[in-house]
Structure 1
Amino acid sequence: MTSRVLVTGMAWDTALGAGLDDVWSALLSGASGIRPVPSAHKVRNELAAVVPDLPEDYRERQQALGLRALRSAVADAGLELSDPRLQLVVGTSYGPDLDAPDSLARWGDELGAAAGVPTVTVSTACSAGSDAVLVGAALIADGVTDICVVGGVDILTPAKRLGHSLLGTMSPTTLRAFDTARDGMLLGEGAAFLVLESAESAAHRWARVYGAVSGAGSANDAHGATAPDPSGDTVVRAMETALRSAGRDASEVAVLNAHGSGTPVNDDVESLSFRRMFKPAPDGPVVFATKGAFGHTLGATGAMEAMAVLLALRDQCVPAVPGLTEPLPDFPLRLPVHEPLAFSGAVGLSVTLGFGGFNTCLVLEAP
């Protein structure tokens, strides 16, 4: 990237709560927000992760969840929504639209209008939150704007639960990423936003800095609507592109938040991709995953996981992978089992794999 893009504010709203450090502490303690959520329709599993105190109406729920986290992130950065420099880039998968059909772009515009901020909406399936970060970082690096609020929002709806039940991607038991008994994912809902800011703007106002988005890369494998290319070629390409844009080498990566959905095909593709990517580095990064605690929050997951990487870099520690008891025997990197795992380093990656072949990698660095 042509100029340094800093993270000066962060907020999330999850099934584990909304406080930045409270939720991170809950992750480190092994807590999970997944619980039985009754369904009016027969689904493969009634376990899911829901955010409390939200409207039942789907469109209102998506709006309220997004606005709550957006306001918190801007406040965390010490800014006001009325600041004319703010630009919003927001991602979602289907949001409420499978159950209450409308335009996803209109939902993003409505969120921006409610906040009083101009908006760009991104919808690239489960990579939408990551791609929102990518777009916002590019806007700042290229000098288009000084401050972007970027992130993702997605809610749990009956159509999503039915769809993943019919696809067979939903676990009939529980989510256990990279475990020998992995058998699928469990859905969740949530919102997460990061405030990205040029180094000059942050320095001018003496902003607190959580870290930097130093690189990003994306690649589409065009393999299928719901399954990734088993070769892992485009996952590797996304990581290589991101590291190249950051001026970093794979050997410098200390921590990696994996997509970690718990589906056999995704876990296998990630395992192969990481083996290919980090083979030249004898001491590869520690890998963690959070979907077993948050549920798979679809369009929000990339933003939530970028925040988790920044917090891991801050504390030099990652939480255990929820549900993981027996790691895949051929998994190439270290995984935290049962308890947090310490590491040392200043560079981290966040990798997301979305339906439709949308693969994105973010490079995040400690301040």
Structure 2
Amino acid sequence: MVVSDQGGGTGALVTGMAWSTALGSDLDEVWQALLSGATGVAPVPSAHPLRNDQAAALPDLPMDLDPERRQYELGSRTLRAAVADAGLDVTDPRLRLVVGTSYGSHLDVPPVGLDRWGEVLATGLGMTRRPLMVSTACSAASDAILVGAALIAEGEEDVCVVGGVDVLTQAKRLGHSALGTMSPTALRAFDESHDGTILGEGAAFLVLERARSAQARGARVRGRLSGTGSANDAAGPTAPDPSGDTVVRAVTAALAAADRGTGEVGVLHAHGSGTPVNDDVESRGFARTFTNGAAPVVFATKGAFGHTLGATGALGAVALLLALRDKRVPPVPGLSTVMPGFPLPLPAGAAPLPFTGDVGLSVTLGFGGFTTCLALEVPA
């Protein structure tokens, strides 16, 4: 049973964005790699028995760096790049940082609290205001974006830097091995042979800005966050409610907040974790939501980036904005035969798939029942 759901219209403009992924950090180079079907998943050895020794680690961040330091380095460079992309300085006193993670380095190093790492990040960059922290499992980055958008919509802030950071650690790999969520072979989202996920690490940040602020300084606009929606099914600590209710409610709330209908959605970035349970929940939720001929193209990037846990929602939002810009989506890595009953078009095979429309959705599913949907648009 769904115990809570909410939506909000924002109108916040996206004036900057950046990501750090297993395929690199340059926006367009990584996007072209995705369009070509590349993946950053590779063997990452462990001293412990894992269900799969593969993962998606950053190629230029040494794995022997302790997890806390990796999290700081990853967050610092990505946040700085997003702010620079917006034409701002990271020490601008108007900036409010809202950042999410799942457990970050918390499971592998002496705990300093899930809030302290964000304060260290902001202080290290010379940011003058205390950050807001979000930890809602795999929806953390999406929820950080939602919170930043709400602050702008309610007149509390003019500019927010929002996103997520998560690192690959031994404890997370062991934990997911014990849970049975890891694939023994490969991440194949929405494929008939899907059997689990592969973990990764990454970061992404977006700069959300009030329209009058962006206009006053002549900022480049990459897109608009037109609506958000969230829901929680409270079904259990890890497995979601199989009915897909939270997907339906989160998507419906985001579209209502954006004043858009399902027929106006051209593209959807799915959670696409590759676990049969999550893929089935998304399939059911999409089938119940997109009716009467509405059929946005669906894509997913975890097969290329790995499942980056608390960072995945921000990475998905950046990928969605690039897809809306180019009007095509990359192939889904590992997808050859679409799972039975999937209701929407998917780019199965090696080639990108074109679409029409200027409205897109990004959906994330997190442990604990957290489901979040972001509605993003680009200028027509």
TM-score, normalised via structure 1 length: 0.98
**Pair 1:107-2:117 in alignment:** yes
Match of 2:26 among 19, 35, 39: 19
**Unpaired segments of 5 or more residues in structure 1?**
none
Contact 1:242 1:363 in 2 (8 A): yes
**Pair 1:80-2:89 in alignment:** yes
Name the structure 2 match of 1:98.
107
**Pair 1:63-2:75 in alignment:** no
Separation in 1 of the partners of 2:153 and 2:29? 32
Deviation at 1:52, TM superposition (A): 2.6
* SS of residue paired to 2:227: strand
Contact 1:3 1:198 in 2 (8 A): no
Separation in 1 of the partners of 2:363 and 2:51? 27
Separation in 2 of the partners of 1:172 and 1:89? 35
**Pair 1:7-2:14 in alignment:** yes
Contact 2:187 2:198 in 1 (8 A): yes
Name the structure 1 match of 2:203.
191
After superposition, the C-alpha distances for 1:74-122 in whole angstroms (9 at most, x for unaligned) are 0111100121110000000000001112201011111111122321010
After superposition, the C-alpha distances for 1:128-163 in whole angstroms (9 at most, x for unaligned) are 010011001111111111100000000000000000
* SS of residue paired to 1:175: coil
Name the structure 1 match of 2:60.
53
Separation in 2 of the partners of 1:4 and 1:271? 29
Name the structure 1 match of 2:307.
296
* SS of residue paired to 1:62: helix
Look up the equivalent residue of 1:205 and give its one-letter code. Answer: R
Look up the equivalent residue of 2:107 and give its one-letter code. Answer: L
Separation in 2 of the partners of 1:38 and 1:224? 32
After superposition, the C-alpha distances for 1:293-349 in whole angstroms (9 at most, x for unaligned) are 000000000000001110000000000110000001210000001210000001000
Separation in 1 of the partners of 2:98 and 2:52? 33
Contact 1:2 1:142 in 2 (8 A): no
Name the structure 2 match of 1:208.
220
Name the structure 1 match of 2:5.
none
- Residues 150 and 3 from structure 1, CA distance in 2 versus in 1: closer, same or farther, beyond 3 angstroms? closer
* SS of residue paired to 2:206: strand
Q: How does 1:319-338 map to 2 (within 5 A)?
A: 319-338=330-349
Look up the equivalent residue of 2:307 and give its one-letter code. Answer: H
Contact 2:237 2:368 in 1 (8 A): yes
Name the structure 1 match of 2:232.
220
Deviation at 1:235, TM superposition (A): 1.4
Contact 2:9 2:258 in 1 (8 A): no
Separation in 2 of the partners of 1:13 and 1:22? 11
Name the structure 2 match of 1:44.
51
* SS of residue paired to 1:222: coil
Deviation at 1:283, TM superposition (A): 3.8
Q: Alignment length, in residue pairs?
A: 366
Contact 2:10 2:227 in 1 (8 A): no
Deviation at 1:2, TM superposition (A): 5.8
* SS of residue paired to 2:115: helix
Structure 1 segments of 4+ aligned residues over 4 angstroms from their partners:
none
Contact 2:243 2:281 in 1 (8 A): yes
Deviation at 1:22, TM superposition (A): 0.6
* SS of residue paired to 1:275: helix
Worse-superposed segment, 334-343 or 110-119: 110-119
After superposition, the C-alpha distances for 1:150-194 in whole angstroms (9 at most, x for unaligned) are 000000000000000010000001000000000000000000000
Name the structure 1 match of 2:256.
244
Name the structure 2 match of 1:307.
318
- Residues 167 and 3 from structure 1, CA distance in 2 versus in 1: closer, same or farther, beyond 3 angstroms? closer
Worse-superposed segment, 106-115 or 20-29: 106-115
Contact 2:55 2:200 in 1 (8 A): yes
Name the structure 2 match of 1:132.
144
Deviation at 1:3, TM superposition (A): 5.4
Match of 1:235 among 244, 247, 259: 247
Match of 1:256 among 252, 264, 268: 268
* SS of residue paired to 2:46: coil
- What percent of counterpart residues are identical? 68
Contact 1:320 1:341 in 2 (8 A): yes
* SS of residue paired to 1:196: strand
Separation in 2 of the partners of 1:361 and 1:2? 12
Look up the equivalent residue of 1:112 and give its one-letter code. Answer: A
TM-score, normalised via structure 2 length: 0.95
Look up the equivalent residue of 1:153 and give its one-letter code. Answer: V
Name the structure 2 match of 1:279.
291
Look up the equivalent residue of 2:76 and give its one-letter code. Answer: L
Separation in 2 of the partners of 1:15 and 1:52? 6
**Unpaired segments of 5 or more residues in structure 2?**
1-7
* SS of residue paired to 1:270: helix
